[in-house]
Structure 1
């Protein structure tokens, strides 16, 4: 199997006496729930990236801030690694535990602390579900929908901040980082820090932006203040069918070039269309090679004019059919098909591997052709579902883990797709994070100076290297082994972090 992370992590971390750790936690934090029996630990051995599993040493489920601080201080004192976990819906292995570490589950911090309709903000704990924020804000005519991952019914806001989550409306409204005001965190030794403020700007370095997307490597989130938006007066969706994925890809750029910024602009290829239609019955044209879903929202008059303009652009781009949702019920069905594309594709194959890369919009047609060629080369089907407007691709590689070698081929194909994204000027991730999954491809994305800077930031927040080790940032030694980087003059900076 292709090694997706540095397996030396568990082998080189100091041995932890489980009995001593458990006794210390129970003595100092008597009300803290600690899971330590093997059958209790098994449900926590993976996140959404379920192909890789590790049973943690212990799982702790705090309810109060002092318990989180206590766990961090004890682990810091005993030199025990800590991995923070939210709802466990991540797709890059960012919350996978360590055999010699504590899994700190923040799911019980699930209270909405305050909605301020005048300031259009919400203060929430990290375990609050993404969708629950919008539900709580709805009586005030507000919502938190811009970073709306397809898992929003289950994923937690703390995990969204840790991964800088996106979704179908990020083209117009931005990622999680663009919709935050303030985050409260605890450092590895239990110190409280406030990053950002309720003002629109703060003096000094923008540590809030730095922290967002840091995947649990810099601190543990305890509270989040998000921005809320007024619900649009109206929203309408156009569905356009194409007889080739290349035409659909070019149409994406044409819409943006026409001066239209849709609320959402999504694309699905034929394999994904058929799977979603069979699962949801959204009304998709199953004979189309690709479809685009284009949502336009705002004031009624503007949306009406934009719909007419986008229809013209789509027809000129070669669409074989352009359909506007007749009513709100059909609009919801169109989006239900897209948001359920992942589970729908899961019905086509025993397993699938969900990739996450981002490319410039202009490269969409060529990259889709290249993915088709790679699919044929590796003899594995690929269903393409992605946020076309911002170039965030989610190729779903179908395979059967019970067949010898298929998982290896799926991983190799996934790596090639990510390296293709880098080659055309894109990124190895747009919203899922790096975690353990993409750590090799970080070596292709960044040079040694850039990775050295990343390690310096990590060391500034977590000098002991105990927060989520082995994730996100590869060592220069690892990149040299991967063959993707020249290590300058043979020097490996921050040797204290090289074990990770």
Structure 2
């Protein structure tokens, strides 16, 4: 693995500000310390660093010009969308430029004839479906943050969502990209056609976490809205019983659009946050959503009811309409934020295990929790074994954050040991880069690094992310609480008391 890139002299970075303003305009460059602090982390606030300069381009040409300047001057850049990522993939650099695409939010085209949409990277995920819905279409990838997360960020992380069991991840729904390369060139990959000839460069770019450039325009596949959607909520006494139901459903040949599970602690948090009214006393709840032709959905729903009952479900509810379906999903969609109601701080983890190993891994997680004194709430895409354990701790308690980080890392080790992965959809970023050598051997990592270097020889594109570096693995980036003084304090304009 390469050594960490040389840090840019802050004075040199400041000399670039007039040139950045010439590209993005006065209101498109942020240098004020307190405003820069707004961008110090993504959704994983456990890691934070105030960016050296923030730029907010409005066009693809402006993005390309910014990256061209960074390449010429050897200044690192970090792409950022809505900032909802959960792996510190958008963690800024104090010596670099943070390129924020939130102003690029035009829906360029809804093309029903070709069943696709062309959008800018700052468009919110759910807004594509809202624009396509009047035509009877929708966009399938649906991360829990879909109301606010942006398409550009979904591209960078190859985001999934609850319905990825049946419909796949972002990469399965992107037809074309316009990207700004690290050298500042605008390049088009793919288009509106279902398949493009040649090497799958789009597949390499999607999920590359901003290390190969920035998406400036995205063409996504639209799907026709299903004839019928049925959502079931099944309550079980234990997670093991719920897991048995999942295995029964999949092995019976039923392919739901989604199968989601929450344990008792996650349910407690969701009830406190959004009053989702799940069955009282449930040790686990299972949300099963079926879609497709009405006759198929009805038959599958009856089979799911039978299998859940046979696995010990003590209550099964079926949503009577869109409003009740949204209420069932509200608890699951709010789960990550909801744990803030029951814990001062937490780490959102993301790993994958074979579905058949779910019960054993959850048992091991429970043991880790008991031994460490760190509570863990479990929320996961049960159908494909994608775990989202929420590791809870009190950041006011000395050493609690370190213990939580150890538990978080140990959970990823469990995933690897059972033949799984250190990430299902949140990406590697900073948070899991040091786990990469546990999953890949040196030759694999060297191959990845050579590919990255071929497209970014200057090493300016989101350095110290995705692949491990000595500095990254030997020094944890700052923790939000107490690690970085407020900019006004640093400038001597205020004091803490």
Tell me the TM-score normalised to structure 1 length.
0.91
Q: Structure 1 residues 20 and 237, CA, compared in 2 at 3 Å: closer, same or farther?
A: same
Matched, 1:129 2:124: yes
Q: 1: distance between equivalents of 2:109 and 2:297? A: 33
Q: 2: distance between equivalents of 1:282 and 1:26? A: 47
Superposed CA RMSD in Å reads 2.0
Matched, 1:312 2:306: yes
Alignment of 1:237-386 (within 5 A): 237-386=231-380
Determine helix, strand or coil for the equivalent of 1:59: strand
Q: Structure 1 residue aligned with 2:134, among 135, 139, 144?
A: 139
Cα deviation, residue 480, structure 1:
11
Matched, 1:163 2:157: yes
Q: Structure 1 residues 325 and 462, CA, compared in 2 at 3 Å: closer, same or farther?
A: same
Cα deviation, residue 222, structure 1:
0.3
Point out where structure 2 has 5 or more consecutive residues left out of the alignment: 477-497
2:68–2:185 Cα contact (<8 Å) kept: no
Q: Structure 1 residues 303 and 343, CA, compared in 2 at 3 Å: closer, same or farther?
A: same
| CA deviation vs aligned residue, 1:135-183 (integer Å, no higher than 9, x gap) | 1111101111x21011001000000000000111110111000011011
Q: Structure 1 residues 202 and 422, CA, compared in 2 at 3 Å: closer, same or farther?
A: same
- Tell which deviates more after alignment, 321-330 or 218-227: 321-330
What is the match of residue 483 of structure 2?
none
What is the match of residue 229 of structure 1?
223
Q: Structure 1 residue aligned with 2:462, among 468, 483, 487?
A: 468
Q: 2: distance between equivalents of 1:469 and 1:300? A: 49
Q: 2: distance between equivalents of 1:111 and 1:219? A: 20
Tell me the TM-score normalised to structure 2 length.
0.92
1:32–1:67 Cα contact (<8 Å) kept: no
Cα deviation, residue 312, structure 1:
1.1
What is the match of residue 94 of structure 1?
89
Q: Structure 1 residues 124 and 478, CA, compared in 2 at 3 Å: closer, same or farther?
A: closer
Point out where structure 1 has 5 or more consecutive residues left out of the alignment: 1-5, 483-500
1:161–1:176 Cα contact (<8 Å) kept: yes
Cα deviation, residue 239, structure 1:
1.3
Cα deviation, residue 402, structure 1:
1.1
| CA deviation vs aligned residue, 1:292-346 (integer Å, no higher than 9, x gap) | 1101111211111111111111112222222222333222111111111122221
1:349–1:400 Cα contact (<8 Å) kept: yes
Q: Structure 1 residues 377 and 10, CA, compared in 2 at 3 Å: closer, same or farther?
A: farther
Q: 2: distance between equivalents of 1:283 and 1:242? A: 15
2:181–2:214 Cα contact (<8 Å) kept: yes
What is the match of residue 59 of structure 2?
64
Q: How many residues align?
A: 476
Q: 2: distance between equivalents of 1:29 and 1:373? A: 52
- Tell which deviates more after alignment, 281-290 or 84-93: 281-290
| CA deviation vs aligned residue, 1:332-368 (integer Å, no higher than 9, x gap) | 1111111111222210011111100011100000001
Q: 1: distance between equivalents of 2:109 and 2:244? A: 44
Cα deviation, residue 88, structure 1:
0.7
Q: 2: distance between equivalents of 1:333 and 1:198? A: 36
Matched, 1:23 2:18: yes
Q: 2: distance between equivalents of 1:458 and 1:269? A: 39
